[in-house]
Structure 1
Amino acid sequence: MDLNLPLALFAGIVLALSACSSVLQRASLPGPVMALGLGVLVGPFALGVVQLEEFGIPTGTLLEESARLTLGIGLAGVALRLPHGYWHSNPRWLLVILGLGMPLMLAVATGVLWAGLGLPLLVALLIGAILTPTDPVVTTPVVSGSLATRRIPDRVRFNLSSESGVNDGLGYAFVMLPVLLLTAPDNAWQDFALTVLVREVLGAAVFGLVVGYGAGKLFVVARNRGLMEESSYLGFIVPLGLAVLGAGRLLGTDAILAVFIAAAVFGQIIPQTDEKQEGTIDDVVNRFFLLPIFLLIGLALPIDEWVERGWIAVVVVVGAVVLRRFIALWVVRPLLRRVHSRPETLFLSWFGPIGVSALFYATLAERLTGLRDVFVYTLLAITVSVVLHGVSTAPASALLARHRPGRREGSDE
């Protein structure tokens, strides 16, 4: 296949969507929704202009590696969004949403999939684990941009960002347990404890901490001694995410978690003004990576397999996507009364989007287990989430703005 066609097509679509990003956001048609739709349009189920098989790379490998690279860039940007001192001042939210919220979301998603689709329990548990984390890349259009900063309180934006970053990395442990139980049941618990938790998760935390601290100190020294021009700021963000992503995998750690921890530590060390500038630059980079991955997803959607499974599959997956978050947030609501108001909790209980991280874990799990259902149902969940959460971003943020204390009439427009 001549790569000039997809190159021109992808770049042209990204250019067009970026140029109209503000208008699309106000119309509740953010970039991921449009990119997904355009991917379907030019793909094999509509115009047939581009097909993933013609790239010369196995589709699963292409999607997994594209998702991994997008996460490496996206997680760095999410971490840099958080202000200095955030991690010290928000322990209650993090402990509750990660310690109680994630297991509850896993239980609800698994239960809905198991009861509604009649899947074996371990397969339902695996798909439920993939759907549990809030996606940091798809969350970006919800919590960033002029519309979000005017309408959504900072504590909501920052808490959703921090949750999506941390639970995306921790999601690896949730996914690997059912994978091990399916592929190596005799040694599953031992491998999970020693390999997944100790070497991969704990190792990622230590590695990310060391690299993030070192990169932050290097940034400060280079800046204070005048060794770095402002245009070089970008030279810290992208390489930091990609270097940790690559080195973390070579070391056998959970590289996704390592990236977020490294960027989070880095963001707390660099000066606050530079952190804001880094975040602004990174939002642009994120957009460049965000839109192409959803074009790829649109090209890869297994629509014919969804049709074979019937309308009940759509209903059940919608239930799993929506209920997992809604039930979990309202169950832990008594522990978060001092953190978020009822309108804020309602907003957070709706916005738990699924996207690039789910794609990464689905392709990884399908490769390790050979279970096609994992990929088919996860892609359906991603599509459902991108559409539902995408089109509801503007009206939901407007509704939340009306309930902000001290809001003046017309202040969000």
Structure 2
Amino acid sequence: MDINLVLTLFAGTILVLALLSSLLQRISLPGPVLALATGVLLGPAVLGVVRIEDFGVPTGELLEQATRITLAVGLAGVALRLPHGYWRRNRRWVVSSIVLGMLVMFAVATGILWALLGVPFLVALTLGAIITPTDPVVTTPIVTGSLAKAKIPSRVRYDISSESGLNDGLGYLFVLLPVLLTTSPETAGRELLLSVFLREILGAALFGALVGYVLARIFLVAKDKGLMEDNSYLGFLLPFALLLLGAGKLLGTDAVLAVFVAAAVFGQVIPQQDEDEEDRVEDVVNRFFLLPIFILLGLALPFGEWSALGWAAPVVLLVALLLRRAVALLALRPLLRRVHSVPETVFLGWFGPIGVSALFYATLAERLTGNHDLFVHATLAITLSVVIHGVSTAPASEWLRRREVGRTS
């Protein structure tokens, strides 16, 4: 494979998307949708210019490592943009959406898939876990940028960001439950408690909090002493995320969760940044580090295996995707009456997309179980979500703006 061809095609796509970003948001064609379409166009399904096998790395391994890095960078950007005091002021939303919301979404998705998809229970359980976490990358168009600021209340944008950041890291616990039941059922309970929950999840939270605080203090000292030439978020964001990702994995923790916790602590300790600067930083990160993963996904989509599933599979997956979120927000409504209005709750109930995190967990689960069907079903669900949630961004945001204006007028 000619690396120059890949650079030209990938960078050219990102350049075009950058030049037309404002227009594309207005017509509800956000970057992830077009990047995915570009991958399909360039891949074997259409033009055959680039094949994912040409990269010289097994497809599963390439996608798992690429999504892992992409997820870490994206989560760091999400955590850093939350305002000072957010976690203290929004305890009700955080606890409700994570502790209860994830459980409800997991149960609803699993139940629908097991009842209607025609797969064994453990496969349905694994797929339900994969599609439970909402995605911080696909939600970018409604949490940053001019469209988001003009039409979506800040509390909704911040709550979507915090939820997607936390549940992406905690999704590891949900995915490892069926994986362990599949691979080592005799010891699954003990491994889930001692290895996954205590060491990997809690260890990640403690490690991330400690490193995030220490790096924040170092950042402040370097800034006060004039040791730094550039004290913006961007100078710290990428090495920060990759440091936590690598070190967290070396210590045997859930490194993705460690990155988010560290970035959340870091963002609360350093001085509050201007939202415009935060959006510029996240915009740069999204264009250059997050969109390429959707091009890769487009190259890897298994269209032949999808066709073998029949027409029912995409319908069932779509029902599971949409209902898992709607049912969860409906169930949580009594706890969130004072947090979000009815229009905001409806909007949050609709907008629960999956993307990079689901792809990461799908490739991880496939590697650990050897079940390729997980990848086939998960990529179909991801594609449906990216397209449907992507193209509904602008109309859903406008719907929320009108309802909020009518409610307060």
The Cα of 1:282 is off from its aligned counterpart by 3.2
* Residues 1:133 and 1:63: Cα distance change in structure 2 (over 3 Å): same
Please identify, of 226-235 and 90-99, the stretch whose mean Cα deviation from structure 2 is larger.
Answer: 226-235
Please name the residue that 2:176 is paired with.
176
Q: Percent identity?
A: 66
The answer as to whether partners of 1:302 and 1:376 remain within 8 angstroms in 2 is yes
Q: 1:173 corresponds to which letter in structure 2? A: L
The Cα of 1:408 is off from its aligned counterpart by 9.9
Cα distance in 2 for residues equivalent to 1:377 and 1:229: 48
User: Is 1:206 equivalent to 2:203 in the alignment?
Assistant: no
Q: Within 5 A, what are the aligned runs for 1:315-330?
A: 315-330=315-330
User: Is 1:147 equivalent to 2:147 in the alignment?
Assistant: yes
The Cα of 1:143 is off from its aligned counterpart by 1.2
Give CA deviations for 1:374-399 in whole Å, capped at 9, x if unaligned. 10111001100001100000000001
The answer as to whether partners of 1:28 and 1:394 remain within 8 angstroms in 2 is yes
Please name the residue that 2:236 is paired with.
236
Cα distance in 2 for residues equivalent to 1:358 and 1:106: 13
* Residues 1:312 and 1:369: Cα distance change in structure 2 (over 3 Å): same
Give the SS at the match of 1:79: helix
Give CA deviations for 1:173-220 in whole Å, capped at 9, x if unaligned. 000010000000010000010000011001000110011001111111
The answer as to whether partners of 1:401 and 1:407 remain within 8 angstroms in 2 is no
Q: Within 5 A, what are the aligned runs for 1:298-377?
A: 298-377=298-377
* Residues 1:331 and 1:77: Cα distance change in structure 2 (over 3 Å): same
The answer as to whether partners of 2:25 and 2:394 remain within 8 angstroms in 1 is yes
Please name the residue that 2:385 is paired with.
385
Cα distance in 2 for residues equivalent to 1:161 and 1:274: 17
Please identify, of 233-242 and 354-363, the stretch whose mean Cα deviation from structure 2 is larger.
Answer: 233-242
Cα distance in 2 for residues equivalent to 1:38 and 1:167: 29
Give CA deviations for 1:312-367 in whole Å, capped at 9, x if unaligned. 00100110111100111111111100000000000000011100000000000000
Give the SS at the match of 1:28: coil
Give the SS at the match of 1:386: helix
The answer as to whether partners of 1:267 and 1:275 remain within 8 angstroms in 2 is no
The answer as to whether partners of 2:27 and 2:394 remain within 8 angstroms in 1 is yes
Cα distance in 2 for residues equivalent to 1:169 and 1:214: 21
Paired residues in the alignment total 409
Give CA deviations for 1:196-254 in whole Å, capped at 9, x if unaligned. 00110010001100110011111111111111123664221111101000110111000
The Cα of 1:273 is off from its aligned counterpart by 2.7
Give the SS at the match of 1:272: coil
Give the SS at the match of 2:404: coil
User: Is 1:196 equivalent to 2:203 in the alignment?
Assistant: no
Cα distance in 2 for residues equivalent to 1:237 and 1:179: 32
Please name the residue that 1:126 is paired with.
126
Q: 2:385 corresponds to which letter in structure 1? A: S
Please name the residue that 1:49 is paired with.
49
Please identify, of 115-124 and 154-163, the stretch whose mean Cα deviation from structure 2 is larger.
Answer: 115-124
The answer as to whether partners of 2:144 and 2:279 remain within 8 angstroms in 1 is no
The answer as to whether partners of 1:77 and 1:279 remain within 8 angstroms in 2 is no
The answer as to whether partners of 1:113 and 1:320 remain within 8 angstroms in 2 is yes
Give the SS at the match of 2:49: coil
* Residues 1:232 and 1:268: Cα distance change in structure 2 (over 3 Å): closer
Cα distance in 1 for residues equivalent to 2:309 and 2:131: 19
Per the normalisation by structure 2, the TM-score is: 0.98
Please identify, of 289-298 and 136-145, the stretch whose mean Cα deviation from structure 2 is larger.
Answer: 136-145
The answer as to whether partners of 1:43 and 1:50 remain within 8 angstroms in 2 is yes
The answer as to whether partners of 2:145 and 2:279 remain within 8 angstroms in 1 is no
* Residues 1:80 and 1:9: Cα distance change in structure 2 (over 3 Å): same
* Residues 1:156 and 1:223: Cα distance change in structure 2 (over 3 Å): same
Q: 1:39 corresponds to which letter in structure 2? A: G
Cα distance in 1 for residues equivalent to 2:202 and 2:11: 39
Cα distance in 1 for residues equivalent to 2:33 and 2:279: 23
The answer as to whether partners of 1:354 and 1:385 remain within 8 angstroms in 2 is yes
Give CA deviations for 1:299-318 in whole Å, capped at 9, x if unaligned. 11111101001110010011
Please name the residue that 2:280 is paired with.
280
The answer as to whether partners of 1:81 and 1:276 remain within 8 angstroms in 2 is no
Cα distance in 2 for residues equivalent to 1:283 and 1:79: 14
Q: Which runs of 5+ in 1 are unaligned?
A: none
Cα distance in 1 for residues equivalent to 2:243 and 2:112: 38
The answer as to whether partners of 1:80 and 1:279 remain within 8 angstroms in 2 is no
Cα distance in 1 for residues equivalent to 2:212 and 2:68: 19
Cα distance in 2 for residues equivalent to 1:208 and 1:361: 21
Cα distance in 2 for residues equivalent to 1:345 and 1:234: 33
Q: 2:152 corresponds to which letter in structure 1? A: I
The Cα of 1:116 is off from its aligned counterpart by 1.0
The Cα of 1:280 is off from its aligned counterpart by 2.9
Please name the residue that 2:156 is paired with.
156
Cα distance in 2 for residues equivalent to 1:28 and 1:359: 23
Per the normalisation by structure 1, the TM-score is: 0.97
Q: Which runs of 5+ in 2 are unaligned?
A: none
* Residues 1:245 and 1:279: Cα distance change in structure 2 (over 3 Å): farther
Cα distance in 2 for residues equivalent to 1:45 and 1:164: 31
Please name the residue that 2:10 is paired with.
10
- Give me the CA root mean square deviation: 1.5
The answer as to whether partners of 2:244 and 2:255 remain within 8 angstroms in 1 is yes
The Cα of 1:140 is off from its aligned counterpart by 1.3
Give CA deviations for 1:267-323 in whole Å, capped at 9, x if unaligned. 001101368635532331122112111000101111110100111001001101111
